[in-house]
């Protein structure tokens, strides 16, 4: 897993009005939880937007650089956004120890075009957009590629068919379906059209 760093500042404001002022000043309130203790932080909004664009769709180790303290490795645990403006409202970081295995969710990237979709008129269904992975932080993948090129209609790719990366392991039911190719539901649509025609006749 790649590493990216961001500068933060210790935050003392915890009241609603103080946080509003902090956001108006162009900062985002944040918290980091972990072995070194829980700390309130603030991050420059422009800096976080730049970081967010770099990590979109992938998992990264975030190095938290706070003046006067040793850098801390973390993962983004949760991002809260304003529903109306979509602006970042609050960030939760989870501290990690590079020498201790952790469990986290990694995004699934589907690659290739299913032969069932291309040649048989099938429909690709993705059942797992994230998979839970365990391993040392630096060994965790940025994302998990699932190649569906050979997938035919009626076939599925299960968790136990995906090869773990860099001495990591998957957590959960090994028979879990990650992606499948299914036949189009033409019969159901035709029946629905017939029912509509009969209602119109009546």
Q: The tokens 């008129």 sit on which residue?
A: 121
pLDDT at 18: 85
Which one of 69, 95, 121 terminates a domain? 95
Is 166 within the bounds of a domain? yes
Q: Tell me if 22 sits within 8 A of 44, measured CB to CB.
A: no
List, run by run, the mean pLDDT of 10-residue segments along the chain (202 residues): 92 81 92 90 94 88 90 93 88 95 94 95 95 95 95 96 92 95 71 55 53
Q: pTM for the whole thing?
A: 0.78
127 and 87 fall within a common domain: no
pLDDT at 197: 56
Q: Rounded distance, CA 119 to CA 175, Å?
A: 27
Q: Which structural domain range is residue 11 located in?
A: 3-95
- Nearest CA among 153, 147, 162 for reference residue 124: 153
16 and 87 fall within a common domain: yes
Is 40 within the bounds of a domain? yes
Is 200 within the bounds of a domain? no
Is 124 within the bounds of a domain? yes
Which one of 75, 95, 115 terminates a domain? 95
List the beta bridge partners of residue 4.
62
CATH code, 175: 2.170.120.20
pLDDT at 119: 94
CATH code, 65: 2.40.240.10
72 and 119 fall within a common domain: no
pLDDT at 10: 92
b/e sequence 124-150, b meaning 16+ C-beta within 10 Å: eeeebeebebebbbebbbbbbebebee
pLDDT at 190: 52
pLDDT at 96: 95
Number of structural domains (the chain) is 2
- The count of C-alpha atoms lying within 13 angstroms of the C-alpha of 19, restricted to the half-sphere facing its C-beta, is 13
pLDDT at 56: 83
Is 50 within the bounds of a domain? yes
Which one of 72, 95, 118 terminates a domain? 95
């Amino acid at each position: 897993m790649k590493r990216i760093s961001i500068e933060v500042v210790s935050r003392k404001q915890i009241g609603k009005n103080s946080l509003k002022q902090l956001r108006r000043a162009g900062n985002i309130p944040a918290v980091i939880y972990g072995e070194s203790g829980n700390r309130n932080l603030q991050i420059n909004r422009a800096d976080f937007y730049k970081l967010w664009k770099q990590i979109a769709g992938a998992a990264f180790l975030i190095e938290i650089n706070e003046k006067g303290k040793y850098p801390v490795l973390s993962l983004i645990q949760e991002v809260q956004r304003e529903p109306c403006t979509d602006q970042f409202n609050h960030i939760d970081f989870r501290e990690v120890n590079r020498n201790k295995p952790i469990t986290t969710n990694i995004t699934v990237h589907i690659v290739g075009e299913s032969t069932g979709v291309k040649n048989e008129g099938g429909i690709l269904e993705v059942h797992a957009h994230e998979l839970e992975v365990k391993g040392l932080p630096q060994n965790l993948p940025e994302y998990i590629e699932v190649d569906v090129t050979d997938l035919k209609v009626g076939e599925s790719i299960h968790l136990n068919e995906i090869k773990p990366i860099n001495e990591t392991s998957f957590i959960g039911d090994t028979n879990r379906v990650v992606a499948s190719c299914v036949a189009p539901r033409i019969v159901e649509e035709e029946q629905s059209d017939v029912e509509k025609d009969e209602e119109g006749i009546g």
